[in-house]
Amino acid sequence: MLMKDCMNSRLLLDCAKSCILASSPVFRRQQFLIRCLEVSIDHRPHSRDMQALRSIEVDSESVIRAITPALDPTRHKGQAGNIAVIGGCREYTGAPYFAAISALKIGADLSHVFCTKDAAPVIKSYSPELIVHPVLEESYNVGEENKRSITSKVLAEVDKWMERFNCLVVGPGLGRDPFLLDCVSELMRHARQSSIPIVIDGDGLFLVTNNLDLVRGYPLAVLTPNVNEYKRLVQKVLSSEVNDVDAPQQLLSLAKKIGGVTILRKGNSDLVSDGDTVKSVNIYGSPRRCGGQGDILSGSVAVFLSWARQHILAADSNSNLSCKNPTVLGCIAGSAILRKAASLAFLKKKRSTVTGDIIECLGQSLEDISPAS
């Protein structure tokens, strides 16, 4: 009897230890690693998949050369691009800076950041080149009775500038404060009424995934999801899981289902679709995956989208580009220039490469493809 009690006690103790181990962060991280390894083994790219990607690969350098405007001394400030980034809160000040400064480094004339009052002094201190507007508010700063009046003030302040912008970038460093997201939702609706292109990244994708009507049916909207953001979009819109075996077709279906928005799915090969066509950008970038590259991409896409729109309007039917959708062209060019800049930065800095190093290589990367002279 005593021996049986001892055995039962030992079983209970082992069970308790197993429960504690299963709930520990170390154990969970180990299990996650095992699952990732299993996925990588089960989903290695097959030759058929690689052939499918090559068949939709686009000549991104030709796109960049076609849409990049020549430097012209007769043009005035703003004609080469006036970009606005809506993002930046107490916790996140780097992301909106990366997006906005990337736009300038590629060749936009002006770059604005609309952020919270707490974030503004920090972002201003990064660079005097940016025009920083401390107009957004978070819930902790707003009483329930003041929400409507403050929302009206924010909209009025941004509306003063809205017509000047060639493109909005929504989401870098935005955070997920409910009141802030409500204000940004209204700003996006105003941008749509003015037919201003919107590039959505970061927390902007969180906002849009939970409120698809913000972009549904808007052909000038661009979504730039990473792997996790894309997974949430697919689950929400298609009610399915990500299909890597037929990734182009699934992306096409996703863009079409949302109503013709353009989606740039970031990955080993970037895939771009507007619901009518799928293109891939396979240029090798960098093995260094420092944070902030998505912010560079969103700022880059905004500039090239603006230039593509100008090019198509100016060229009309005489353009030799097979694709006439400026959002697709902007995504192709933005993806390619980031990858080239990342590759160039890695050659110089190797493992120590950080986002600022990549930004400093944007100008040289564009010059190599489309010389200013």
Q: Which residues are annotated as a binding site for (6S)-NADPHX?
A: 173, 226-232, 295
* 3-class state of residue 221 by DSSP: strand
Report the DSSP beta bridge partners of residue 57.
Answer: 280
Tokens of 33: 């690693």
Could you list the residues known to form a binding site, using ranges: 173, 226-232, 266-270, 285-295
Tokens of 348: 């110089």
- DSSP classification of residue 46: P
Q: Which of 231, 215, 297 is nearest to 264 (CA)?
A: 297
Angle, vertex CA 273, rays to CA 268 and CA 274, nearest 5: 160
Helix (H) or strand (E) holding 112: strand 110-116
Are 353 and 296 within 8 A, CB to CB? Answer: no
Are 179 and 149 within 8 A, CB to CB? Answer: no
Q: How many CB atoms within 10 Å of residue 188? A: 24
* Residue 359 CA: distances (Å) to CA of 187, 227, 264, 367: 28, 23, 20, 14
Distance between terminal CA atoms of the chain?
94
For residues 264 and 122, give the distance between their C-alpha atoms in angstroms, rounded to a whole number.
30
Helix (H) or strand (E) holding 115: strand 110-116
For residues 357 and 337, give the distance between their C-alpha atoms in angstroms, rounded to a whole number.
14
Residues 6 or more apart from 264 whose CB is under 8 A from it?
Answer: 222, 223, 224, 225, 270, 271, 272, 297, 301, 331, 334, 335
Could you list the residues known to form a binding site for ATP, using ranges: 266-270, 285-294
Are 282 and 269 within 8 A, CB to CB? Answer: yes
Residues 6 or more apart from 97 whose CB is under 8 A from it?
Answer: 88, 113, 123, 126, 127, 130
